[in-house]
Chain A
Amino acid sequence: MAETIISVRNVKKDYLLGKTIIPALKGISFDIHEGEFLSIVGPSGCGKSTMLNILGCIDKATSGQVTFQGTDLSTLNDDQEADIRLNKIGFIFQSFNLVAVLDVRENVEFPLLLKKVAPAQRRKIVDRLIDLVGLGEFANHKPDELSGGQRQRVAIARALVNSPRLVIADEPTANLDSDTSVKIMEVMKALNDHEKVSFIFSTHNDLIEKYARRVIRFRDGLIVADESKSEG
């Protein structure tokens, strides 16, 4: 059995809308193991993004427990959460969230600057990742000079730059056409296969869902199914 990276136990998340409490997650429990290629699927508003934000230390659960490699995330202060985001988790956003004024190389390099990695080492890591996602010839392009698929590849490279144990992707193909979506999924799958990076991604696209080796189905803030497949 592979090592458990994340353990989620009875996690609830409520949002306050004026005086109304909106329950987004109503008691979620599951584990994520090393090397998994896992998809959270479900209709819009079912709590997928909320769950991923909590797993990625971007948001906090209202109650319940999330442990990352044995560390209870609810006990972490802001700096410790930032450290986990920087060193252990890569995050890929639906709308890419690249820094518009930085070129491909600089976007990928930014987390390494935060880690104070030496320039030569930075260059080596960034070059390798840009090649890995097939953007070698676009290294000096700004995000607005790239297609949606290329931008998402930059985001993937950025998410991988600090060699995280886990990459969380919130609907990474939602803003892409079918062909590009397939290509992005193949990049992620290849990284999972060859770099041994665990991926957890959300989608409501059946085509994308098929790539996952394990699918957790959400509906109305609850898990309705947790299915593992022998082949993605």
Chain B
Amino acid sequence: MFAKIALLNIVKHAKRSVVVFVAVALAVLVLCAVGGVIRGISDTVLGSIVPTAGHIVVTQEGAKDAPNPYDLKFLIPQADSRLAGLHDDRITVQESVLTFTALLVEPVGTDSKKEARNLGMLGQGVRPDTRFLANIRGGITQGAFLPEGRGILLSNQAARLLGVKAGGTVMVLTSDRGNNPWYQELPITGLFTSGSDQVDLSTFVVSQDTARSLVDAEGMSREFRFLVKDPDTAPDVAAALRSQLQGQGLRVEPWEVTFSSLLTILQFLTILTVIIRAFFVVVAGSVITNSILMTVFERTREHGTLRAIGLKKRQLRGMIVTEGLLLGGLGSVAGLALGIPLVLVLSQIGLDLGSATESLGFASKIYPALGGVDLVFDFLFGTLIALVASLYASRVSARRSVSESLTHT
């Protein structure tokens, strides 16, 4: 009967019901959207780590702690054969990468009066079919990722700063392992926009063969990168690789160790997002609570009348709570019905947070994502806040005497 009377009240008090319904729906919608953005930031951070560097990285001992980690003395000799000798069923991808520093210079030809523009950058020598550098591979705007032969892939920003174009060439100045200067003029076979200014301004890509010829490091690589089926097993797989590489002067690190500073940032972001979410929870909770209390207390005289004609205290409480629960539940469903498509649309078009994430070294554009747990939380939040608020309101209303309620102004 409570449900019947509550439904009757909801329908008959349409304006008040709409106020509570909209308050709950908006609160849940905001929570859903904020949750999606927060998850998107988190995914972007993690997404920046793994597709770039893999779950496990093998480098020369001492390279990581050296003043110049890109010093060519830290290259791994016989890289291809040593990488091929590593096995573990949990590994899905294993590649060697040759990272090196270089100065990219605009080719000015015989025009000696023109000052050549230049840019100090980090070269990534990878296989043309690499599974890494996802942000670059996915951001090709012109040309292809890497050609079979010689070629260089530059960001649009770097090309603009150097005054070069796809189809043209760029001079790549390096030093070989004997510290002798060396250069090659490479055709620009493609341009990309990674979504991160930092990546765009610091990174270019060449084939590993080209990289090896640029730094005179035949058969060498800077590091081995691995992807595993289950990221949680990365430490175990790293331990297995460590035993296979024992005595070879190589250091094996799972991504949690390699990117410990990034993980610290991620932990900070997580705490920040919890605070942001808590803030929205408090604000949304206040909105829902206030709208419910307002709509219940506004009807104190009506409640007095109903009690005067025989409604019991517990029936009054049941009626108010049922109304709150129905409106909370329906409002939460409506909030999710609006929030989920919103997050899905944003997950396709992305949100440009500009310097906010750029300064942390991640892509400026983040893609909000839905999380099942978040959605359950949002629904329960809207419903439970409405329930708690209506429980409180019903208690206050039922505690008033009938005569007090009837004379309430």
> What is the interface of chain A, defined by CB distance below 8 A to chain B?
53, 56-59, 78-79, 82-83, 85-87, 90-91, 93, 97-102, 106, 110-111, 113-116, 158-159, 162
- Also in contact, A110 and B306, with CB within 8 A (given A58-B403, A97-B406, A101-B12): yes
- Also in contact, A79 and B302, with CB within 8 A (given A59-B402, A113-B1): no
B403 engages A59 (CB within 8 Å): yes
Stretch in B172-180, B234-242, B263-271, B309-317 with 4+ CB within 8 Å of A: B309-317
Contact partner of A82 among B5, B304, B313, B401, CB < 8 A?
B313
- Also in contact, A162 and B310, with CB within 8 A (given A93-B305, A101-B13): yes
A97 engages B311 (CB within 8 Å): no
A114 engages B315 (CB within 8 Å): yes
> What is the interface of chain B, defined by CB distance below 8 A to chain A?
1, 4-5, 8-9, 12-13, 301-302, 304-315, 401-403, 406
Contact partner of B308 among A58, A87, A106, A116, CB < 8 A?
A58
B4 engages A99 (CB within 8 Å): no
With a cutoff of 8 Å between Cβ atoms, the chain B residues found around residue A97 in the complex are 301, 304-305, 308, 406
B308 engages A59 (CB within 8 Å): no
Q: Report the separation of the CA atoms of residues A82 and B308 in the bound assembly, to the nearest whole angstrom.
A: 8
A99 engages B310 (CB within 8 Å): no
B402 engages A113 (CB within 8 Å): no
B308 engages A78 (CB within 8 Å): no
Q: Identify the closest chain B residue to A86 (Cβ).
A: B310
B308 engages A114 (CB within 8 Å): no
Q: Identify the closest chain B residue to A112 (Cβ).
A: B310
- 6 CB contacts below 8 A, A to B, read A56-B308, A82-B310, A99-B305, A101-B9, A106-B8, A158-B309
A78 engages B312 (CB within 8 Å): yes
B306 engages A85 (CB within 8 Å): no
Q: Identify the closest chain A residue to B398 (Cβ).
A: A78
Contact partner of A113 among B5, B305, B401, B406, CB < 8 A?
B5
Tell me the smallest distance from the CB of A149 to a CB of chain B, in Å. 19
Q: Report the separation of the CA atoms of residues A86 and B308 in the bound assembly, to the nearest whole angstrom.
A: 8
Q: Identify the closest chain A residue to B313 (Cβ).
A: A78
With a cutoff of 8 Å between Cβ atoms, the chain A residues found around residue B13 in the complex are 101
With a cutoff of 8 Å between Cβ atoms, the chain B residues found around residue A57 in the complex are 402
- Also in contact, A86 and B309, with CB within 8 A (given A97-B301, A101-B13, A116-B1): yes
Tell me the smallest distance from the CB of A172 to a CB of chain B, in Å. 14
Closest 4 A-B residue pairs measured CB to CB? A86-B310, A101-B12, A97-B305, A82-B312
Apart from A58-B403, A93-B305, A97-B304, list 9 A-B contacts with CB within 8 A.
A82-B311, A86-B309, A91-B308, A91-B309, A101-B9, A101-B12, A158-B309, A159-B309, A162-B310
Q: Report the separation of the CA atoms of residues A209 and B275 in the bound assembly, to the nearest whole angstrom.
A: 69
With a cutoff of 8 Å between Cβ atoms, the chain B residues found around residue A78 in the complex are 312-313
Q: Report the separation of the CA atoms of residues A114 and B314 in the bound assembly, to the nearest whole angstrom.
A: 12
Tell me the smallest distance from the CB of B314 to a CB of chain A, in Å. 8
Q: Report the separation of the CA atoms of residues A99 and B303 in the bound assembly, to the nearest whole angstrom.
A: 9
With a cutoff of 8 Å between Cβ atoms, the chain B residues found around residue A86 in the complex are 309-311
- Also in contact, A114 and B311, with CB within 8 A (given A58-B403, A93-B305, A99-B302): yes
Q: Report the separation of the CA atoms of residues A93 and B312 in the bound assembly, to the nearest whole angstrom.
A: 19
Q: Report the separation of the CA atoms of residues A110 and B13 in the bound assembly, to the nearest whole angstrom.
A: 15
Q: Identify the closest chain A residue to B403 (Cβ).
A: A59
Q: Report the separation of the CA atoms of residues A87 and B309 in the bound assembly, to the nearest whole angstrom.
A: 9
Q: Report the separation of the CA atoms of residues A148 and B203 in the bound assembly, to the nearest whole angstrom.
A: 83
- Also in contact, A53 and B403, with CB within 8 A (given A85-B308, A91-B308, A97-B301): yes
B310 engages A83 (CB within 8 Å): yes
B315 engages A58 (CB within 8 Å): no
Tell me the smallest distance from the CB of A76 to a CB of chain B, in Å. 12
With a cutoff of 8 Å between Cβ atoms, the chain B residues found around residue A91 in the complex are 308-309
Q: Report the separation of the CA atoms of residues A53 and B401 in the bound assembly, to the nearest whole angstrom.
A: 12
B305, B309, B313, B402 pick with most chain A CB within 10 angstroms: B309
B302 engages A58 (CB within 8 Å): no
Q: Report the separation of the CA atoms of residues A90 and B301 in the bound assembly, to the nearest whole angstrom.
A: 18
Q: Report the separation of the CA atoms of residues A107 and B5 in the bound assembly, to the nearest whole angstrom.
A: 12
With a cutoff of 8 Å between Cβ atoms, the chain B residues found around residue A114 in the complex are 1, 309-311, 315
With a cutoff of 8 Å between Cβ atoms, the chain B residues found around residue A83 in the complex are 310, 312
Q: Report the separation of the CA atoms of residues A93 and B301 in the bound assembly, to the nearest whole angstrom.
A: 12
Q: Report the separation of the CA atoms of residues A86 and B316 in the bound assembly, to the nearest whole angstrom.
A: 14
